[in-house]
Amino acid sequence: MFEGLTEKLQSAFKRLRGQGKITPENIADALREVRRALLDADVHYKVAKEFIDEVQKRAVGTDVLTSITPAQQIVRIVYEEMVKLLGDTNAQIIESPSPPTVVLLAGLQGSGKTTLAAKLALYLKSKGRLPLLVAADTFRPAAIDQLQMLGDKIDVPVHSDRSGTPPAAIALAAIDAARKNVRDTVIVDTTGRLHVDEEMMAEIESIKNAIGPQEILFVLDAMTGQDAVKSAAAFHERLDLNGVVLTKLDGDSRGGAALSVRSVVRVPIKFAGVGEKLEALEPFYPDRIASRILGMGDVLTLVEKAREQMDEKKAAKLQESLRKASFTFEDFLDQLQQLRKMGPLNQVMAMIPGMNRMPAQAADEKQLDRAEAIIHSMTTEERTRPSIINGSRRRRIAAGSGTSVQDVNRLLKQFDEMQKLLKRYSKSGSRRALQGFGLPMN
């Protein structure tokens, strides 16, 4: 996510940190690089110009030039202005005072509307809501079947009609069905086209006028950059959008759409799709995204994901192991499995400050596969007492796991270093150290 933009911005900041003295001239040089990085990332040229103007205005102030750490001050200014650009705060879905809340999804074909409808339903379901999905895309072949399949997968009902009924009438009937069946949220999937056309706009306007949705979300494929932003502006002119959802953000190395759309369309980004799995939908937090773009990580999202996935019993067991300095391969295996539940390893690593500068192999899923295979090939005694693993045992473990003896040796060495580190933590008796593992402390 944003890899290309992050690298270019960090390069600009690195040059600034290397200056013996910060002056308006070398600030201007650094900001030219930042502007070039934004334009290369397909950020709208007006957005890039306004952003640089605001940063420049603040960066040449007395507070920066007389600061002990002026380069860091400029990075902070860039961060703060980027948060403003992205929307300042997380925007929630607008709710109806009398259920159901109706959410209308709009967007071009291929933006991921149907999958997003299911992701949003699953997200709302996890928050205690009772959603109903509506298949109002009567243009694309198999759209109804796709939504029905996704609805079955997440155990959310789907309202559909294959009799040729107009989409507006289908959506109205779905709202009535939601009231009768006590469903508090209706999510309407609509037809997309390959480009903005009058027929498409007339159809979705008719749906909007018929159902009066509380929330109209434009589903934007983040990887299509400024083209998608132009489409969002066209939809906003006709529909008066309430928000934007960025899909495929995990595959967007540039960041142009994310950084441009709010300034161009003037509506908040509410959610971001960050993977193919139906669970891979996150509320959009401007401060966290700005932190990721600048290579500072995203600790808050990381902690939230860890809390969601951490098994309480396993957490308590790990806490006891850490206190007694008896961390075993069984504990290590549990932690690898918990880590995997949090999402693709490269995404998890990107949330840890500084990890974006680690070599690519540090986030190699294959290394986790090898580690799990090696541990699974150990006996129960070997997992709890790694010191007994001699040469013949290492050869047996390597053969059983389909790895090499060198791989086994490497894992044993890493584990030994980890044990030493944990023993130091346990001897210090530091509650903060244990809490750093995300464990509840009594």
DSSP letters of 380-417? HHHHH-GGG--HHHHHHHHHHHT--HHHHHHHHHHHHH
The mean per-residue pLDDT over the stretch 144-167 comes to 94
Would you call 344 helix, strand, or coil by DSSP?
coil
From 96-110, 129-143, 242-256, 348-362, the region with the lowest mean pLDDT: 348-362
Band of pLDDT at residue 306, cut at 50, 70 and 90: low
Q: Which residue has the higher pLDDT, 340 or 58?
A: 58
Contact between residue 235 and residue 196 where contact means Cβ atoms under 8 Å apart? yes
Domains of the chain as residue ranges with CATH = 3-86 (1.20.120.140), 101-289 (3.40.50.300), 302-435 (1.10.260.30)
Band of pLDDT at residue 29, cut at 50, 70 and 90: confident
In this structure, is the dihedral angle defined by the CA atoms of residues 398, 400, 403 and 407, taken in order, positive or negative?
negative
433 has a pLDDT exceeding 60: no
Q: How far is CA 215 from CA 188, 228, 245, 341, 366, in A?
A: 10, 20, 12, 31, 42
The mean per-residue pLDDT over the stretch 121-150 comes to 93
| Tokens 């890899």 sit on residue | 3
pTM for the model stands at 0.71
* Residue 172: per-residue pLDDT: 96
243 has a pLDDT exceeding 90: yes
362 has a pLDDT exceeding 70: no
The mean per-residue pLDDT over the stretch 18-23 comes to 70
* Residue 90: per-residue pLDDT: 86
Length of the chain in terms of residues written: 442
The mean per-residue pLDDT over the stretch 345-365 comes to 55
Q: Which residue has the higher pLDDT, 267 or 323?
A: 267
Q: How far is CA 376 from CA 91, 181, 315, 389, in A?
A: 45, 48, 21, 14
434 has a pLDDT exceeding 90: no
The mean per-residue pLDDT over the stretch 149-172 comes to 94
What does the pLDDT look like over 190-225, one tens digit per residue? Answer: 998 878 888 889 999 999 999 999 999 999 988 887
312 has a pLDDT exceeding 70: no
* Long-range contacts of the stretch 334-340 (C-beta < 8 A, 24+): 336/368, 336/371, 336/372, 336/375, 337/372, 338/306, 338/309, 338/310, 338/311, 338/314, 339/368, 340/368
From 45-49, 241-245, 423-427, the region with the lowest mean pLDDT: 423-427
- Measured CA to CA, the distance from residue 435 to residue 159 in angstroms comes to 46
Q: How far is CA 24 from CA 28, 33, 41, 69, in A?
A: 6, 14, 25, 15
The mean per-residue pLDDT over the stretch 315-333 comes to 67
The mean per-residue pLDDT over the stretch 301-308 comes to 62
From 80-84, 98-102, 282-286, 289-293, the region with the lowest mean pLDDT: 289-293
Would you call 181 helix, strand, or coil by DSSP?
coil
Contact between residue 158 and residue 117 where contact means Cβ atoms under 8 Å apart? no
274 has a pLDDT exceeding 80: yes
The proportion of the chain whose per-residue pLDDT surpasses 70, expressed as a percent, equals 79
Q: Which residue has the higher pLDDT, 407 or 229?
A: 407
Contact between residue 273 and residue 248 where contact means Cβ atoms under 8 Å apart? yes
* Residue 293: per-residue pLDDT: 83
Band of pLDDT at residue 288, cut at 50, 70 and 90: confident
Band of pLDDT at residue 361, cut at 50, 70 and 90: very low
Q: Which residue has the higher pLDDT, 17 or 312?
A: 17
The mean per-residue pLDDT over the stretch 314-332 comes to 66
- Measured CA to CA, the distance from residue 385 to residue 379 in angstroms comes to 10
Task: Name the residue type at position 249.
Answer: L
Would you call 273 helix, strand, or coil by DSSP?
strand
- Measured CA to CA, the distance from residue 319 to residue 271 in angstroms comes to 34
* Residue 300: per-residue pLDDT: 62
The mean per-residue pLDDT over the stretch 24-38 comes to 87
What does the pLDDT look like over 61-116, one tens digit per residue? Answer: 766 666 667 777 788 888 899 999 998 888 889 999 999 999 999 998 888 999 99
Angle between helices 405-428 and 329-341 (to 10 degrees): 100
The DSSP H or E segment spanning 198 is helix 198-211
The mean per-residue pLDDT over the stretch 278-295 comes to 87
- Measured CA to CA, the distance from residue 365 to residue 340 in angstroms comes to 9
Q: Which residue has the higher pLDDT, 266 or 353?
A: 266
Band of pLDDT at residue 435, cut at 50, 70 and 90: very low
355 has a pLDDT exceeding 60: no
Band of pLDDT at residue 437, cut at 50, 70 and 90: very low
